[in-house]
Amino acid sequence: MPILLALVLFAVGLSAHHGSADYQTDRDITITGVVKEWRWTNPHTWVLLAVRNTAGGREEWQGEGPPLTWAAQRGWSSSTLRAGEEVSLVMYPSKRGERTGLVKRIRRAGGEVLDVSRPWLDR
């Protein structure tokens, strides 16, 4: 029984950590909006943005950020982004869902850039 449990946990871990396979890494998009939430979670950080659409309404966009350990090693924390802050996300769009992507770069309204280095993608 312990071996079966270990295999199940291993499989769950693999599906949760998919790398860049779910994203269109041959192009990127830029989305500008207001941070609704910055999720400091394992295995990846997430940023949720409220973005004004062409009809004048608001849409929610989600950006998968860097892994928590990577972010922490570079000085990022649970307070790196704050709700209400305006940012632009440069992202690789999702192959599966609308209004979501893999974050490549975050640019704050004041011009500061937070790069997410993925050497196998960012050429």
DSSP string, 36-56: EEEE--SSEEEEEEEEE-TTS
Quote the distance between the C-alpha of residue 70 and its chain's center: 13
Q: What are the residue ranges spanned by the domains of the chain? A: 2-115
What pTM was computed for the model? 0.78
Which tokens belong to 112? 């500061």
Residue type, 29: I
CA-CA-CA-CA torsion sign (7, 46, 97, 114)? negative
What are 28-86's pLDDT values in tens digits? 999 999 999 999 999 999 999 999 988 989 999 999 999 999 999 888 999 999 999 99
CATH of domain 2-115: 2.40.50.140
What does the block give as tokens for 73? Answer: 């090693």
